[in-house]
Each structure stands twice: as structure tokens, then as C-alpha cells.
């Protein structure tokens, strides 16, 4: 046997014995001292960590039960959002976002009566209970809506624009330019998707073929299909944005944990950036096709 072979046999046996000792030592370490990778959920993807609403199989006007999360991930129980915690537990009122009505222009609009308007603890604007026949549902109340009002809904687009009242729901193509709207659909048949906060409203700016351009409360412009439904008027509880919270205890009752106080909003003494207005965002178009990739002859492509 050569010297090299003898060295490989001796050192190889020593290395194997060292590895076995290391594995046995690691296996004896308690589990609580082992490092474990926990993948936290991403923030800003549309998932809220404030509450879980226990919805039923069918729509109902019965207040739904709620489980408060306090900023924790329901799967792992770890804190994901540090600014959420505590607060008063409220029942959840299920809003029916789809305003359905007749599509035939020869059929009169669907009429519903406002039965009650109240404040919901799970949202900022007021909620209205409306009914027609044996059907009851919740919608977001507008600014001047009151008990006993009759609201109308129609899904047809006439030749001339309609003269709607506050609380009525019509397609964007049936409303005149300059109308103030809320609960606007992003796609036809999706249900009220845009403009839900208290005191907010959008404005019909112009038409572009079979599309209507709407200015959002953030001054952004959206180009939506003319068949998208929208509710006429400004949302209720207008004073919500200008009313101060008033006390620390009131902020805790709203479900907000205290902050460090180190962050301060910039004032105008440092100037501001002059940015161009954002371009119109078209919603509902086909997906953009990828551009054709040109491959040139080169020895790198061989």
C-alpha cells in the first residue's frame, strides 16, 4: 500500500468520525434554540390584518361576527402590522356592492326605499338599509340621503343622458359630464370597487368613445368602460376627515396602537417638487403584448 492511499484511509476515517460527533451534538440541542425561517406575509397586497369577518354562504342583513386580529397573521400568530391593536369590537354589516336593475330601456328603473341610516364601526361612511318587496340590503349612504327617500337603479344607456337624483345608480355612459359619483365599478358587473371613504366623490370629466374618464379624489384619472355602474352623489359623514381624534384613549378605541412620535410631516418651508400630472390609466383593456425580441448574429449566440 502506498503512502498516499494510507493517508487517505486514515484521514478519511477521522473526518467521518468528526461529522458523526457533530451531528449527534446538534441533535441533542433543544428545539427552542434552533433557528427556523418564518416567511412573513407581504404588506400592501390587499390583505388586512385588522379583523376577520365570518361571512355566510348567502347574503344577509344580519350583523356578522368578527374576529379581531390586532395586527397578527392568522396563520402564524406573529405580529405583522405594529400599528394595529385593541379597539372596540363591532359587528360587521355586509354591503351589497352590486346595484342590479333592468337593462331594457322600455322598462322603468328599479325603485327602492331607504328604511334606515346608521353608523357602522367597521367603516367610515354611514350605511343605509334599503328595501323593495321582500328584499333587504345594505348600501353606502350619500351625503343628503335620509329615511323615506326613493332611489332608482337602471343598467341601460339611453340615447340622451338621464337626470339622476342623489343615491341613484346608473351606468357611466348614461350620466352627464360633471356628475359627482361614488362606488364606481372597475369592470362591468364587478360591483362598487372605487371611492368608498367617507366624504369622498369622483367627477365625470369627459368621454372617449365607449369609455368615460373619471377624476378620483386623489386627482388621478381613470378611463373606465361606459357600462360600469356608479352611484350618484357624495358619500356621507363629510366631517370625518376634518374631525380631530381628540384624545389618546379615543385613538385606542379606534384600534390604533401608540406611535413613537419621531415622525413629523414636512412643512412648506423646504419647498416642494413640481411633478407633472399623472396620465390617464385605462382599466379593462387587453393585456399588453410583449414586444418581439430581435436576436443579432454574434459569436455569443452560437
**Res. 68: pLDDT tops 70:** yes
Closest CA to 144 of 174, 182, 173: 182
Lowest-pLDDT choice from 18-27, 52-61, 244-253: 18-27
Tell me the pairing of strands 150-153 and 110-119.
Answer: antiparallel
Predicted confidence at residue 78, as pLDDT, reads: 86
Question: Which whole number is the average pLDDT over 55-72?
Answer: 93
Q: What is the pTM of this model?
A: 0.78
Q: Which of 57, 67, 170, 60 is nearest to 110 (CA)?
A: 170
Report whether pLDDT(269) > 70: yes
Alpha-carbon dihedral of residues 250, 251, 253, 254, nearest 10 degrees? 130
pLDDT of residue 19 exceeding 80, the answer is: no
Q: Which pLDDT score, from 0 to 100, does residue 267 have? A: 82
To the nearest whole number, what is the mean pLDDT of the chain?
Answer: 85
Q: Is pLDDT larger for residue 24 or for residue 69?
A: 69
Q: What is the rounded distance in angstroms from the CA atom of residue 107 to the CA atom of residue 105? A: 5
Return the higher-pLDDT residue of 38 and 105: 105
- Cα(277)–Cα(134) distance, integer angstroms: 48
Mean pLDDT of 91-105: 94
Q: Would you put residue 246 in left (φ > 0), alpha (ψ -120 to 50) or beta?
A: left
Region 208-232 average pLDDT: 94
Is 80 exceeded by the pLDDT of residue 292?
no
Q: How would residue 271 be classed by pLDDT, with cut points 50, 70 and 90?
A: confident
pLDDT at 81: 86
Q: Report in angstroms the alpha-carbon separations of 137 from 100, 103, 167, 171, 181.
A: 12, 20, 14, 20, 20
Nine-digit cell at 298?
454574434
DSSP state of 206: E
Instruction: Say which residues have a Cβ less than 8 Å from residue 183's Cβ, sequence separation at least 6.
Output: 97, 99, 139, 140, 169, 192, 194, 195, 196, 230, 231
Rounded percentage of the chain residues whose pLDDT exceeds 70:
80
295, three cell numbers: 436576436
Instruction: Identify the pLDDT of residue 291.
Output: 46
Q: Which domains does the chain have, with CATH numbers?
A: 47-94 (no CATH), 95-237+278-282 (2.30.30.30)
Q: Taking 70 as the threshold, does the pLDDT of residue 289 lie above it?
A: no
Residue 157 vs residue 41, higher pLDDT: 157
Cβ atoms of residues 162 and 170 within 8 Å: yes
pLDDT score of 288:
42
The predicted-structure confidence for 197-217, as pLDDT tens digits, reads as follows 999 999 999 998 899 999 999
Paired residues of 208 in beta bridges:
211
| Cβ atoms within 10 Å, residue 66 | 17
- Structure confidence at residue 31 (pLDDT): 59
- Per DSSP (E only), the strands in the chain are 51-53, 66-68, 110-119, 126-132, 135-140, 150-153, 169-171, 180-182, 184-185, 192-194, 202-208, 211-215, 221-225, 229-232, 281-282
pLDDT of amino acid 3 = 52
- CA-CA distance, 16 to 262, in Å (whole number)? 56
Give the HSE-up count for residue 261: Cα atoms under 13 Å, Cβ half-sphere. 2
DSSP calls for 52-74: EE---SS--SSPBPEEE-TTB-T
Amino acid at each position: 500500500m502506498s503512502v498516499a492511499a494510507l493517508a487517505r484511509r486514515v484521514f478519511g476515517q477521522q473526518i467521518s468520525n468528526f461529522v458523526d460527533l457533530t451531528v449527534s451534538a446538534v441533535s441533542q440541542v433543544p428545539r427552542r434554540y434552533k433557528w427556523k425561517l418564518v416567511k412573513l406575509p407581504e404588506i400592501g397586497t390587499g390583505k388586512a390584518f385588522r379583523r376577520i369577518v365570518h361571512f355566510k354562504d348567502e347574503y344577509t342583513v344580519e350583523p356578522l361576527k368578527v374576529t379581531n386580529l390586532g395586527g397578527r397573521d392568522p396563520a402564524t400568530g406573529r405580529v405583522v402590522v405594529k400599528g394595529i391593536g385593541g379597539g372596540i369590537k363591532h359587528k360587521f354589516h355586509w354591503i351589497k356592492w352590486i346595484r342590479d336593475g333592468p337593462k331594457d330601456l322600455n322598462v322603468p328603473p328599479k325603485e327602492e326605499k331607504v328604511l334606515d341610516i346608521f353608523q357602522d364601526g367597521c367603516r367610515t361612511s354611514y350605511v343605509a338599509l334599503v328595501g323593495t318587496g321582500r328584499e333587504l340590503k345594505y348600501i353606502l349612504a350619500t351625503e343628503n340621503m335620509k329615511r323615506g327617500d326613493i332611489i332608482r337603479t337602471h343598467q341601460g344607456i339611453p340615447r340622451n343622458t338621464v337626470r339622476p337624483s342623489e343615491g341613484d345608480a346608473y351606468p357611466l355612459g348614461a350620466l352627464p359630464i360633471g356628475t359627482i359619483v361614488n362606488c364606481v365599478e372597475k369592470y362591468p358587473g364587478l360591483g362598487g370597487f372605487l371611492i368608498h371613504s367617507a366624504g369622498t366623490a369622483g367627477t365625470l370629466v369627459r368621454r372617449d368613445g365607449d369609455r368615460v374618464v373619471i377624476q378620483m379624489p386623489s386627482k388621478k384619472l381613470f378611463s373606465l368602460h361606459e357600462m360600469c355602474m356608479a352611484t350618484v352623489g357624495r358619500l356621507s359623514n363629510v366631517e370625518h376627515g376634518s374631525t380631530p381624534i381628540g384624545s389618546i384613549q379615543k385613538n385606542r378605541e379606534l384600534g390604533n396602537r401608540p406611535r413613537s412620535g419621531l415622525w413629523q410631516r414636512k412643512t412648506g418651508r423646504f419647498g416642494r417638487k413640481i411633478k407633472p400630472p399623472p396620465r390617464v390609466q385605462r382599466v379593462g383593456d387587453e393585456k399588453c403584448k410583449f414586444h418581439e425580441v430581435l436576436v443579432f448574429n454574434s459569436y455569443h449566440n452560437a
